[in-house]
Chain A
Amino acid sequence: DARVTQTPRHKVTEMGQEVTMRCQPILGHNTVFWYRQTMMQGLELLAYFRNRAPLDDSGMPKDRFSAEMPDATLATLKIQPSEPRDSAVYFCASGLPGHNYGYTFGSGTRLTVV
């Protein structure tokens, strides 16, 4: 089965450090999402790309977070500087546009900021 690959699976970092999370969407999928999952807030949409162009990043704290798709096989989410409140599991999902399609999620990056 085709998979969305996320790296790293786990990341522990000190407050103030830069964190980069990577995602390889399924080949042929032109829609990519970044989500953050916490116990308190549940799933939060951070960014949404179609054909590598950012269409919605309203859920992302702009002062420290940035999301890009340098090419069709790679999406990145960066946090600089990181803070303890950023500790969460970050998921990437890819799919095709249209509301009839479901999306395929990666296994996530568990980030801990100490």
Chain B
Amino acid sequence: GNSVTQMEGPVTLSEEAFLTINCTYTATGYPSLFWYVQYPGEGLQLLLKATKADDKGSNKGFEATYRKETTSFHLEKGSVQVSDSAVYFCALGAQSEGGSYIPTFGRGTSLIVHP
């Protein structure tokens, strides 16, 4: 079956530091890959996505590249801000054998950015 593995958190950084959150996946076929962000007290928000190999998704200074050869979709940001503190979820979307499109989420990685 499909699965997503994320690095465990929390990830603690100082403001303006470089961020990497690792994500690897297992899936049959050609899934789409997503990063969602969850701020305290809110639901998940779609941050970026990539739908085929070598695509780069980007939004709000975050980016991730769909690497089929390493089955990875690592999230990066060059200079984090305190306002980036949140929980980040990697997810994949693929059609199941039964024809449904239920997304598979990772466990989430908490990011804490200190001033």
Contacts and interface: CB of A to CB of B under 8 A. Distances in A.
A99 B32 contact: yes
Interface stretch (A11-19, A42-50, A61-69, A72-80): A42-50
A99 B31 CA distance: 7
A100 B92 CA distance: 9
Interface of B: 31-32, 34, 36, 41-46, 49, 51, 89, 93-95, 100-103, 105, 107-108
Interface residues of A, number: 24
Interface in A4-48: 4, 31, 33, 42-43, 45, 48
B101 A107 contact: no
Contacts of B31: 99
B94 A99 contact: yes
Nearest to B27: A99
B103 A103 contact: yes
Contacts of B41: 107
Contacts of B36: 102, 105
B28 to A, nearest CB: 12
Contact of A91 (B34, B44, B95): B44
Contacts of A50: 100
A70 interface: no
A33 B100 CA distance: 12
A31 B101 contact: yes
A104 interface: yes
Contacts of A43: 89, 105, 108
Nearest to A102: B46
B115 to A, nearest CB: 26
A114 to B, nearest CB: 21
A84 interface: no
A81 interface: no
